[in-house]
Amino acid sequence: MESLVIAELSRNSPNFTEIVDEIARIERRVFPKHESLARSIDDELKKRNTGLLYSHVGGDLAGYVMYSWPSSLAASITKLAVKEKYRRQGHGEALLKAAIQKCRNRSVLRISLHVDPSRTPAMALYKKLGFQVDDLIEGYYSPDRNAYRMYLDFDSN
């Protein structure tokens, strides 16, 4: 069995366009149309202080995590998705841990994210890695879909 590899995507990455296209396909499959970045992944990656890590097994892209650090103190996990055939194999956890480490390397004090409370596996993963529920945001995704705002704090020392 081939092992999981995590890489950082940049505009200079070999196969940049193919990777972005595959991420867009995953976006369309995983997220409802109004939440999907499928049409704007490339634009998102042009933004300052935005990073994207992806995992692959052999040549097959398995999942990705997008994060941003709008200030020197705070970061946000904006997207995390894993192809269905690679779920429950540690890809999401490995990607999230790598993104957390990237944020820690920037000395941020808090990482936040939003998650649909009905996405039980995602909730379990975030809690496993130390994220705590901060608040329920009603109508966050759509009028009838709420989100938990979750956070992970780091010691400022």
CATH number at residue 128: 3.40.630.30
**9 close to 42: Cβ distance less than 8 angstroms:** no
Residues of the chain with pLDDT under 70: 1-2, 36, 38-39, 156-157
Q: Please give, one letter per residue, the 3-state secondary structure of 130-151.
A: CCEEEEEEEEEEECCEEEEEEE
**pLDDT recorded at residue 102:** 93
The Cα 51–Cα 42 span in angstroms is 12
Tokens of 116: 């649909």
CB 58 within 8 A of CB 4: no
Residue 42: the pLDDT is 73
Look at residue 1 in the predicted model and tell me its pLDDT: 43
The tokens of 11 are what?
Answer: 């505009």
Beta strands in 32-131 (DSSP E): 50-57, 60-68, 74-82, 110-115
Cα–Cα distance for residue pair 29/120, rounded to 1 Å: 18
Q: Which pLDDT does position 107 carry in this prediction?
A: 86
Residue 47 lies in domain: 4-153
Q: What angle do CA 75, 76, 78 make, to 5 degrees?
A: 150
Amino acid at 150: M
Specify the pLDDT at position 38.
60
The pTM assigned to this predicted structure is 0.89
- Count of the separate structural domains present in the chain: 1
